[in-house]
Structure formats: C-alpha cells, structure tokens
C-alpha cells in the first residue's frame, strides 16, 4: 500500500501551507498536493524539480518551460486554495518553490531561500523497491557499455546510482519488475557469433516507438509575391491595375486583413495599403533607409494626403472605398525614388492599436531599379528582392567573412517573415560561399575575434528562426551545417594568440608557419582547419611532405588557393625533427580552437561544447537533458577514437534519439544542441559509408540491421517525416518476420524497399522544386560557373541522410528478387517485339508522336495514364506500374510489349544502345533481349498487325429526360458501364451489393449546351472545334475550360434533385452542394476533350464527334479497400486464374496515376479458398471520402471491340477525397493471414460469379466495406 508524507509551513498573516506527498498505486507516480489554509490572497506556485546531486531547477518533460520553472496558480477548493502536481520522473529528488502574490507582484520565500519538499520514491512505494541484485546487474551493464574501464570506488558508486535511476525510469514507463529481471542477465563473455539470428536479435532489441519522432508541419502561405488571392487583393488590383505590381504581402490579424501592394510607376516606388477594417482608421508608420529594423520619420515630400507627423512617426488616415459586394479602406503612398528598403507600421482602429502579434508590421521593399540582364527564373520559393540584394552586396561581402556574416545576419532578419524563400536564399548563398565559388577575403584585414563574433550573431539569428518557425527547420539545419559556431569574448581571439605560442614553443617563426600566422591574423577561415589537419598529418607521418599535400587536396585546397590569399601561403612546412611530440600536442589543441569557431558540424567540438563545465552544464540544466545522454556522448567519443564501426553506428543513433526531444522544444542555447545533432548525423553518414565496403548483401539479417539504423537516423533528420516513420515501422515488421529463403517474406520486404525508393525520389523532387530555382537565379547573378549551378541541389541531396539509404536499397534489391524468384523484369503486357531503341524521360512527352519505323521506347518515367505512341512495339521502364492501370490495359489490347525493369545496371545498359535495333522475346522468367542485327520476320508481323483497325461508333440521340433511374437504363440511353449496373442488380445474390445509381443519359450534354443560357459558350466551343479539326491541339484545353462555364438548365437541376430524392440517394445539400455537383458533371463532360482520349480516337480511326457521354451517378462507398478483378489472368493469359489488385481506401489510387504498386493476388477458379499473393503494396497514400456522390464517365466508345476505351475519360467525386499516408505496419491484409485469405477468397468468388453471369471474362471494380462486397462496375475484359 502506498504511503504518505506530510509537511507544513507557517506563512504570513496566519496562512498555513500543508503539502501532502503520496505514492500512487501504479508504483510509478507521485502526487504532491499543496493546500493554502486561512488564505485571503491569490497566490501562484513558482516551482521546479531538483534531481539527485544537482541544485538546478528542472521542469518535468510533460510540461512546457519558462526560464527553468513553472508557475501554477492556486485554485479555490472549499475553504482552501489548492495546487495538485503529479510527478512521473523517478529522478526527481525534491521540489523547490516560492510563492508569488498575484495581486501585488511580490514574492514569499523561506528565510530568503526556496521552500523545499523531498520526494522519497522508495519510501512512498515500498512494494516497488528495487532488489539489490537487480541494481547490481544494471550497474554491470552500464560499466560494460562504457567499455569496461578501470573504475575507482567513486566511479562505481556513480554507476550504481545511475542504475537505480534507469530502473526507476523504466518502472515509471510501466515495465514490471519481472520483465526487468528477465532482461537483466549479465552476458557471458564469449566470442561474437556472426550467425544471422544473432544480428536479428540485435535488431529486435532496437525496435523503438518511432511514432514519437513525428514532425509534421503544414505548408504556410507563401509571401514572396505569389500569395493566394483574396477579395481585398482582387478589388485593390481592379482599382489600380495589376501591370505595375512588384510585390504583394498580406497580413491576417484576428478578423482583419491588411494588404500591401508595391508598384513601380514610371520608376517611382508606390505603396497601396488596404484593409477591411471599418470606421475611422489611422496608419502609424515609418520608413527604413538602410536596414529593415529602422524606423525613420518619412521625408515631407512623400507624405500622402490626410497625414501629419507626430512623435517620430507619420500618421495617415485611410480613405473609404466601396463596391457592391465589398467595402474597404486604403492609403496610397508615393515613396518616389527615395531608395527606402522597407516600412514599418501599426494601425489605430476602433479605439485600440492593431499590431502583428505584438510586433510592428514590416514590409521589405523590392528595388524598383531596372532588372535588365537578370536571369528569367521563376519558382514558388524564390524571393527575388533578397537574391537581387545579395548580388548587389556581394562586392562588400567578399571583403572578409566578417562582412559576409554581418550582411547575412541583416538580410536574415529582414526576410525571416517572407516564407521559406528567404531562408532558402540565405542557405544557397552560404553554400556557394562554403564550396568556394565566392571570394572569402579581398584587401581587408580583420581580426579572428571579429569574424567569430559576426558568425555568432548570424547563428543566433538562425537559432531564433529555428525556435519560432518550425516549418523552416530543415533549411536552417542545412544552413548551419555550412558554417561555424562562432563565439563572443576570447573564443576568436584565441586563434590569434595561440598561433604565436605554437611558433614560440616549436621554434617555427619563419617560412610556411609565419605565412600561415599572417594569414590567420588577416582573415581566419574554415580553410585554417584543413591546413592545421594537414600539418598534423605531416608531422605524424615522420615529416613526409606528401601527407601534407594529400590532406589539402582531399579537402579542396590547392597550391593556387593557398597562394591566392591576401596573405599568401607559398612555402612548404619545415620543422625540426626532434619537435614531433610538442608539435602534435600544440597543433592538436590549436585544431580544437579553430574548430570551435569554424566547424560547427565537427563532432568532437560539438560534444566538447555541450559537455564543457562552462557551457555544457548550463545547456544540460536548461534543456532538461538526461544523464544517460552524457554517458552516451562520452561513449561515442571513445568509439570514434577506436574506429569501432558497428558499435559506433548504433550509439550515434542512440545519442540522437536521446537528444531528439530537446531539439523539438529547446529552451536555451538551442544552437549548441543543433550543432551537436548535425555533427552526429555527419559522423553517422561517414561511418555508414565505411561500413558499406564490407557489408555482405547476400546476408539479409546483416543488411537489414544496417538499413534499420539508417532509417532511424533518417526519421530523426527529416521534417514532415510521417511516411519515413511508417516505412521504419514496416521495416521492423519484416525484420521480425525474417525466414531464410522465404518467398513471401522477400515479397513483403521488397514492397517496403519499393516504397522507400518512391519516398526518396519524391524527396529529391521536393528539394529540386524548393532549392534549384533559387540556386539558378542567384548563381547566375553571382556568375557562378554553370556546372556549379547545375549540380547544386544534387550535391545537397548527396550530402544528406537519404543518399546512403538509396545505395543500400539498390544493392539489397537483387538479393531479394533472387529469393522471391522475380528476376529483373516484370512483364505487364506479353508480346515479342523488334524495334529501334529511343530513350525518353517521360512517356507522356511523346504520346502524340508517330514513329515511322518499329520503335522500342525506354522511358525513365511512366505514370500509367499515358497513350502509347503510334509505331511503338515495346515500352520498357523502371517505373512501378499497376498491371491494371490504363496504359497497361491499352498495351495488352494493342499487343505491345510493356515491362518494368528492376535492375538499374540492365536498364543503363539498354539506354546505352539508343538508336540500335533490339529483339525482345517474352519468357516465363521475364524478357530475353538481344541485339537485332537480323530482322525477325515474325516480330515484324506483330508490328504491322498492331496498326489501328478503324473502329466505328454511332452517335446517340437525346430521349427527352435529363436524369433516369437504373430501372430505365437501356443501351441506347446509357453506356455499358451504366447498363451493366442494371444487369447486375437484377442477378447477383444478396451478399454482393450494388450501389444505387441514376444517370444523365446520352444527349444530355448536347441538349444542355443548346439551352439559351449557354448560347455564348456554344459559340465558343464551335469556334474552338473548327481550329481543333485543323490540327490545333491547344484548343482541347480551351474547349474544356469553356464547358466548365456552362449554366445548368432549370429542368436539369430539378430533375436531378428529385431523382436523387426518390432513389433515396445522398442529397446534394445546399447551394454549395449543388454547385459542386454541377461542376463535377461538367468535368466529366469536358473529359471527352482531354488529350489522351482525343489522341486515342484518332489512333483507332474513331470519329471523335460521334462520341457521346452519359454520366453514371452513384453514392460513394466509403470503404476500407477497393479492388479491380480480371477474371482472366492478363499477365499469363491463363483463363483458369483470377487476377486481382487491392488498395486501401478509394480505387482511384489503383486506376489513376498514383505511384507505387497495389497488393495483388491470383486465385485458381477450381480452388477459390486458396489465393496466392504475388505482390505486396507500396502505394504511398490512400484516398478517403466522406459520404458523397461520384459522377462516372460512361461514353459510347469505352467497350467497343478493338478499342481499349476504359480509363480514357474522367470520373469525379463531388467532394474532394482526402489523401492519407498509409501505415502498413499493422494493416490486417498484411499481418493477419487468416483475415487476408477470407477476404481475398470472397472477392475472388464474387468475380467468378459475375464472369459466370456474363459468360465471358470480366473487368470488375469493387469496394470492401465492413466485410461486405460492393460491385461498382463491370465490363468485358479486353
């Protein structure tokens, strides 16, 4: 039974404080109740926790922090005022506190010190006392983790105390004593065994709750001249015109909107400031001439009407402006050509001041000087005014690093509120500097102390952004990895002082050392770290000069660069042979001094900063860092020295895991923690790259453990890391399921790797969209060489944590394919072929092209939505395409070879043969490809016979009703998609459900278009069709846009609403619901003119004008899974097998161009209860919809013989579906075999039954909801 401890204090004016500390029954928590009796004032408890052996105040991790303490107000409870605290951290030894008088702002202490109450955990939980033998075993493990050093009695006691704290912490997390006993066995000393299961046991032990590492940030509104429009912005632009707008910025404060438009009017800078505030409103403002932080009185010649100068500012009254739909106020300020860099303001309205969340509104002004000759580059994240100013100030920045960092600090402060573009611009500039594309020093002498202080200010500015704007943390991290830490006081001065000591102690006051001394005094830089390392290697190698030059060259320093300094280094080092030990000692210490300033990402320096008595103690105390982290950092330091690769990899990740909570909510000296994490990540990458050299990719357990480490590291490094976390959880799952040579295990593992490849590719594209436009624009302004610009983002990606994962995936994939018997090809459409190789980046780029000779397309990217060009006999791609995607179906229908290549070497070899002829023969194991020197007659016949056959379709007429029920469906009124629904409703058993349906029949579009309300639209479409018939394909888009402008005839609207009501389908709801449904209908009609469908008609000689579009309207089944069945296996052609693909959520991810592969299985018709999985899912997202309606295209040319029309036209959901990132780690389809077999058997049985009803192979789409099967459409299988 838990015990209680009571403590009382007599306070002023007869007030009594009683504190009751109680151990809770769970054995892992303590409750402290503070009761104020006889109290007449409102008091606040100002408190913090004290850890064993430490007098600093800590804040429990479940609370937010405020200067190392919390303030909790007392709450009235009966006659007392009460505060109740619950503590879960067994390291808490005591609570210290003072009382604050809330009404008089005074403090109450105990004898001028803090009040204190002890928290004796073991006394409060006697039944949870930890057995001594358990503590001793844990202490042994701690000693073992440290490498079993010789320990003094004091050090042994520290290990013992740490063991108690670890065990108490684990008990607090709910781990039982029995479990602790079971895991406490001291390992027997023996030689490490390299058997696979040993590594896998290690992997099981590493399983973490990675969900806690989730970092997910919404994309902010971009404020760099490309913001989302608003009514206020539109009306303002309508008033003043858009042609001269240079930039736009919008602020939202409460219900107010404030917009600032900057215009260039004949060279003058004019500001249009508008707001939706009502009543008398005054702008209180000032200008900035040199930096954004200034507030200067505007000169008299720029003051607008209704202005007056008052108390160091200008006050200007807004002018009312009204339209029929909106009222607002504005001020028009002409700043002329005053060269101002910005303005600041607040607004007086409604009797109080309106500001930007406690700060002034700040608008940076873009220079309106001529931009002639500047590169024409655009992108969402480009902040052009910043990049232009960087270019203008580069001449000043190249004088010294002090100038550069001071300018960078100023610009960072000015652009910090301008979206991500500002941070990206600063990062790109710093990287151009770090990679030596820019000059570091030119005719200027600066002290190391001044550089160090400038760098300190810059990194402080970065730290502020990191803390206040989480969305920018990824870019801040990239930036800080490029620069040093900097520092105030003697940090930089020591660079200058200590080189003199080295020269004096080692008798080297001339030659190279004196040249270096002069360089250090003139302009110290990161190059000095490399020079010092080169000197150390020179001395350690018994003064071999090649060791010196080799180190310099490896780090990019050449003789020419050394000679290019303002204080050149042209001599080689020469030292006395008897001075080796002294030189090594002094240069090693000096290297630490240099790294402390210039190498923020150096691990030794970063650890030293965090652990040093002067700084580190403060960093640890203020951020609530654990003693365990200190132990791990010490262990990592030792492992780095010993070059113990395997242990180091694991411990580096362990340190980052322990550090991660503090990085997400740091309290003080955040940059020290951030530099430490960057250094840990850099060391991890280097160590893993070394490990790859000896990694045996034919030993899955060994590889999987390394991939596990890399995934955990990537989770910790990535912002918006939800999908990486899901992949890591999935990796834990397949690792635990490992069985040697097991095909199903290999298929599941390959699916995880396939998804990881998609995630990494997507992140690469994200970086290119994010960074490369800025790199190109700024690089051209700064005259960086073209190669440096072109590879900029590529180098950023290669330096990141994902690059090594990509290498691991690519090298492990062949081993998995071998176990799974997959080969390097997946044949989607089986056909022999002969043709000439043509390489393209994307198939969609050439889909309209006509090749005059048989052509094999090698396409780096295929989405699944494309048309295959005329003249193409084969398409080969590395893209993972669903077998039932639109392009796959069309390839099989046209007898075109279509296959995915999984082996990059094979694919590269094929691309190298571009222009040459090859022969392709399909085999059961994949493709057999050979050089096509001899023309294969049979293959040639295939090419000729696949030419279009001239399918003809008849037009359809309108039967007088805009909407009909499923009972009224006929093949003259609707397409096969709708007609088949009626067929199935009348024949399938009750356990197969068919959704209620209505339709807009053939002719509805044409009749609606002829309505008087659409007269203008009809004229537009007719004109566009004339141009289209003359070959102008750009008019396809124009026709679609015109259709979206159609108005609904009143009769159509009324019929649809009434029919949905009579069929008891979902209501369209209010006016907004009707508008969304009408837009969806128009989008379906407009899809007749999408480029893919139009090109397909031309290829098959189909009369496009004869295509009629009905619209099938169904309730959306918000199911758990969607599936597509082909009752005749389309891959093998085996009519005895049913082939099915399944995805989570809506089926659009299956039939649309969504990356990744669906889960697929085959079922023998003679044994429907035994489905065989042939691929596991790698789809990245699932689509889910609320209760809604879907409008499906149902044309008269989708299922004609000889024409694969399925999927050419669009189906549109009235309400946009939600994209959800999929977590497969606990997905029943994958982890529950019994559930999978039952569900897949039921789906296969439904497919087999529908095939029997039609008497021919069927292509069936369906949904699974709550275990029930819904069939939403069926058509003859092509």
Q: Active-site residue numbers? A: 886
Q: Which residues of 836-853 are buried (b: 16+ CB within 10 A; e: fewer)?
A: bbbbbeebbebbbeebee
Task: Give the rounded distance of the alpha carbon of 1048 from its chain centre.
Answer: 42
Nearest CA to 487 out of 609, 618, 342, 625 is that of 609
Rounded distance between C-alpha atoms, residue 525 and residue 783, angstroms: 23
Rounded distance between C-alpha atoms, residue 125 and residue 1, angstroms: 8
Rounded distance between C-alpha atoms, residue 257 and residue 275, angstroms: 6
Nearest CA to 207 out of 715, 632, 627 is that of 715
Rounded distance between C-alpha atoms, residue 1080 and residue 1215, angstroms: 9
List, in sequence order, every beta strand (DSSP E) within 311-466: 313-317, 319-322, 327-336, 342-349, 352-354, 361-364
At a CB cut-off of 8 Å and minimum separation 6, what does 270 contact?
Answer: 262, 263, 264, 332, 333, 334, 335
Element (H, E) at 51: strand 43-51
Give, in order, the Cα–Cα distances in Å from 715 to each of 160, 623, 688, 1123: 33, 22, 16, 32
Give residue 862's region: left, alpha or beta (phi > 0; psi -120 to 50).
Answer: beta
Helix pair angle (132-145, 627-642), 10° resolution? 40
Is the CB of residue 396 less than 8 Å from the CB of residue 410? no
Give the three-state DSSP class for 355: coil
Length of the chain: 1278
Nearest CA to 1265 out of 1114, 1066, 1118 is that of 1118
Is the CB of residue 161 less than 8 Å from the CB of residue 142? no
Rounded distance between C-alpha atoms, residue 73 and residue 43, angstroms: 6
Rounded distance between C-alpha atoms, residue 360 and residue 343, angstroms: 10
Rounded distance between C-alpha atoms, residue 581 and residue 34, angstroms: 63
In which residue are the tokens 């609606």 written?
1008
3-state SS, 932-945, equals: CCCCCHHHHHHHHH
Computed from CA positions of residues 659, 665, 668, 670, in that sequence, does the dihedral angle turn out positive or negative?
positive
Give, in order, the Cα–Cα distances in Å from 617 to each of 54, 157, 625: 10, 21, 10
Is the CB of residue 43 less than 8 Å from the CB of residue 102? yes
Q: Which residues of 199-211 are buried (b: 16+ CB within 10 A; e: fewer)?
A: bbeebeebbbebe
Task: Give the rounded distance of the alpha carbon of 461 from its chain centre.
Answer: 24
Backbone angles phi, psi at 309, to 5 degrees: -90, 135
Computed from CA positions of residues 411, 417, 421, 426, in that sequence, does the dihedral angle turn out positive or negative?
positive
Rounded distance between C-alpha atoms, residue 294 and residue 298, angstroms: 12
Is the CB of residue 442 less than 8 Å from the CB of residue 566? yes
Computed from CA positions of residues 875, 876, 877, 880, in that sequence, does the dihedral angle turn out positive or negative?
positive
In which residue are the tokens 């295209």 written?
1193
SS3 content of the chain, % helix, strand, coil (to 5): 45, 20, 35
Give the three-state DSSP class for 215: coil
């Amino acid at each position: 039974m838990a015990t209680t401890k009571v403590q009382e204090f007599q306070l002023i004016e007869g007030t009594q404080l009683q504190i009751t500390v109680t151990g809770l029954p769970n054995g892992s928590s303590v409750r402290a109740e503070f009761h104020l009796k006889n109290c007449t004032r409102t008091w606040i408890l100002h408190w913090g926790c004290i850890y064993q052996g430490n007098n600093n105040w800590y804040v429990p991790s479940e609370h937010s922090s405020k200067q190392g303490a919390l303030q909790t107000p007392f709450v009235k409870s009966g006659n007392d005022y009460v505060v109740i605290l619950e503590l879960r951290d067994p390291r808490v030894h005591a609570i210290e506190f003072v009382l604050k008088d809330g009404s008089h702002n005074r403090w109450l202490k105990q004898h001028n010190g803090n009040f204190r109450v002890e928290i004796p955990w073991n006394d409060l939980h006697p039944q949870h006392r930890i057995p001594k033998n358990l503590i001793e075993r844990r202490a042994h493990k701690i000693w073992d983790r440290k490498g079993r050093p010789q320990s003094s009695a004091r050090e042994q006691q520290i290990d013992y105390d740490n063991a108690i704290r670890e065990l108490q912490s684990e008990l607090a997390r709910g781990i039982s004593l029995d479990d602790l006993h079971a895991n406490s066995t001291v390992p027997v000393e023996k030689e490490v065994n390299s058997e696979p299961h040993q590594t896998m046991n290690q992997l099981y032990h590493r399983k973490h709750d990675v969900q806690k590492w989730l970092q997910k940030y919404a994309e902010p509104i971009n404020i760099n001249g490309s913001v989302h429009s608003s009514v206020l912005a539109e009306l303002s632009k309508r008033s003043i015109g858009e042609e001269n707008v240079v930039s736009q910025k919008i602020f939202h404060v409460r219900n107010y909107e404030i917009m600032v438009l900057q215009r260039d009017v004949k060279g003058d800078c004019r500001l249009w400031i508008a707001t939706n505030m009502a009543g008398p409103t005054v702008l209180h403002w000032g200008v900035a001439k040199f930096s954004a932080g200034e507030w200067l009185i505007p000169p008299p010649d720029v003051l607008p009407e209704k202005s007056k100068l008052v108390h160091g500012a200008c006050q200007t009254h807004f002018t009312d402006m009204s339209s029929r739909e909106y009222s607002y106020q504005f001020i028009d300020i002409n700043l002329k050509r005053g060269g101002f860099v910005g303005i600041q303001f607040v607004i007086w309205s409604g009797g109080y001041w309106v500001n930007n969340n406690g700060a002034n509104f700040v608008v940076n002004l873009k220079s309106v000087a001529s931009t002639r000759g500047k590169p024409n580059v655009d992108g969402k994240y480009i902040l052009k005014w910043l990049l232009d100013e960087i270019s203008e100030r580069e001449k000043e920045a190249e004088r010294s690093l002090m100038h550069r960092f001071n300018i960078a600090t100023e610009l960072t402060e000015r652009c910090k509120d301008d979206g991500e573009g500002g941070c990206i611009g600063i990062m790109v500039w710093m990287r151009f500097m770090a990679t030596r594309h820019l000059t570091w020093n030119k005719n200027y002498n600066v002290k190391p102390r001044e550089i160090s202080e400038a760098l300190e200010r810059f990194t402080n500015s970065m730290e502020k952004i990191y803390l206040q704007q989480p969305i920018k943390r990824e870019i801040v991290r990239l930036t800080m990895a490029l620069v040093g830490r900097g520092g105030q006081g003697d940090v930089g001065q020591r660079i200058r002082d200590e080189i003199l000591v080295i020269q004096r102690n080692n008798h080297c006051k001339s030659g190279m050392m004196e040249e270096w001394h002069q360089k250090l005094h003139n302009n110290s830089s990161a190059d000095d770290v490399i020079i010092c390392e080169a000197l150390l290697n020179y001395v350690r190698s018994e003064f071999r000069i090649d060791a010196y030059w080799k180190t310099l060259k490896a780090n990019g320093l050449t003789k020419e660069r050394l000679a290019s300094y303002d204080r050149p280094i042209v001599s080689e080092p020469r030292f006395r042979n008897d001075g080796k030990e002294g030189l090594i000692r002094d240069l090693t210490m000096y290297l630490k001094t240099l790294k402390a300033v210039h190498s923020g990402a150096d691990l030794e320096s970063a650890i030293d900063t965090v652990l040093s008595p002067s700084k580190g103690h403060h960093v640890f105390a203020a951020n609530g860092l654990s003693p365990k982290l200190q132990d791990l950092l010490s262990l990592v330091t030792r492992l780095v020295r010993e070059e113990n690769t395997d242990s180091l990899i694991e411990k580096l990740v362990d340190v980052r895991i322990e550090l991660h909570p503090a990085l997400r909510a740091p309290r003080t000296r955040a940059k020290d923690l951030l530099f430490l994490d960057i250094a840990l990540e850099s060391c991890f990458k280097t160590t893993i790259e070394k490990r790859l050299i000896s990694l045996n990719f034919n030993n899955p357990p060994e590889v999987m453990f390394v991939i596990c480490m890399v995934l955990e590291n990537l989770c910790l490094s990535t912002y918006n890391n939800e999908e990486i976390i899901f992949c890591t959880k999935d990796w834990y799952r397949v690792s635990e399921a490992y069985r040697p040579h097991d095909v199903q295990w290999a298929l599941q593992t390959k699916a995880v790797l396939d998804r990881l490849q998609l995630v990494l590719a997507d992140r690469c594209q994200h970086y290119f969209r994010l960074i490369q436009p800025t790199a190109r624009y700024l690089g051209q302004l700064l005259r960086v060489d073209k190669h440096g610009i072109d590879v900029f983002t590529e180098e950023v990606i290669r330096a990141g944590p994902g690059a090594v994962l990509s290498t691991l995936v690519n090298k492990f994939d062949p081993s998995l394919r071998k176990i799974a018997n997959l080969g390097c090809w997946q044949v989607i459409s089986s056909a022999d072929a002969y043709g000439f190789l043509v390489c393209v980046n994307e198939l969609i780029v050439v889909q309209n092209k006509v090749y005059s000779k048989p052509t094999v397309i090698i396409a780096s990217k295929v989405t699944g939505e494309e048309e295959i060009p005329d003249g193409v006999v084969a398409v080969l791609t590395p893209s993972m395409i669903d077998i039932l995607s639109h392009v796959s179906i069309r390839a099989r229908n046209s007898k075109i070879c279509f296959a995915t290549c999984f082996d990059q070497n094979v694919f590269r070899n094929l691309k190298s043969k571009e222009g040459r002829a090859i022969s392709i023969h399909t085999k059961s194991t994949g493709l057999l490809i050979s050089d096509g020197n001899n023309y294969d007659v049979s293959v040639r016949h295939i090419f000729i016979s696949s030419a279009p056959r001239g399918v003809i379709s008849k037009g359809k007429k309108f039967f007088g009703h805009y909407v009909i029920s499923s009972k009224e469906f006929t093949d003259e009124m609707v397409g096969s998609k709708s007609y088949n629904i009626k067929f199935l409703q009348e024949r399938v058993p009750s356990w197969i459900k068919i959704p209620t349906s209505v339709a807009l029949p053939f002719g509805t579009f044409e009749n609606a278009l002829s309505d008087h309300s659409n007269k203008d639209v009809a004229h537009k479409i007719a004109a566009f069709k004339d141009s289209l018939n003359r070959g102008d394909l750009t008019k396809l888009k124009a026709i679609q846009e015109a259709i979206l402008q159609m108005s609904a005839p009143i009769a159509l609207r009324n019929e649809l609403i009434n029919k949905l009501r009579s069929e008891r389908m979902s209501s369209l709801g209010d006016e907004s619901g009707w508008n969304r449904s009408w837009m969806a209908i128009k989008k379906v009609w407009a899809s007749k003119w999408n480029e893919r469908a139009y090109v397909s008609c031309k290829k098959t000689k189909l009369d496009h004008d004869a295509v009629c579009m009905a619209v099938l309207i169904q309730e959306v089944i918000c199911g758990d899974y969607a599936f597509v069945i082909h009752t005749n296996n389309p891959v093998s052609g085996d009519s005895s097998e049913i082939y099915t693909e399944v995805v989570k959520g809506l089926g659009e991810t299956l039939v649309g161009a969504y990356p990744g592969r669906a889960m697929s299985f085959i079922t023998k018709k003679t044994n429907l209860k035994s489905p065989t999985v042939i691929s596991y899912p790698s789809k990245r997202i699932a689509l889910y919809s609320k209760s809604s309606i879907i409008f499906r295209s149902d044309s008269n040319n989708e299922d004609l013989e000889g024409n694969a029309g399925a999927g050419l036209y669009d189906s549109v959901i009235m309400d946009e579906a939600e994209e959800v990132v999929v977590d497969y780690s606990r997905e029943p389809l994958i982890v529950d075999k019994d559930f999978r077999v039952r569900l897949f058997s039921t789906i296969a049985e439904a497919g087999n039954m529908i095939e029997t009803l039609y008497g021919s192979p069927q292509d069936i789409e369906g949904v699974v909801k709550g275990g029930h099967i819904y069939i939403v459409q069926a058509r003859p299988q092509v």
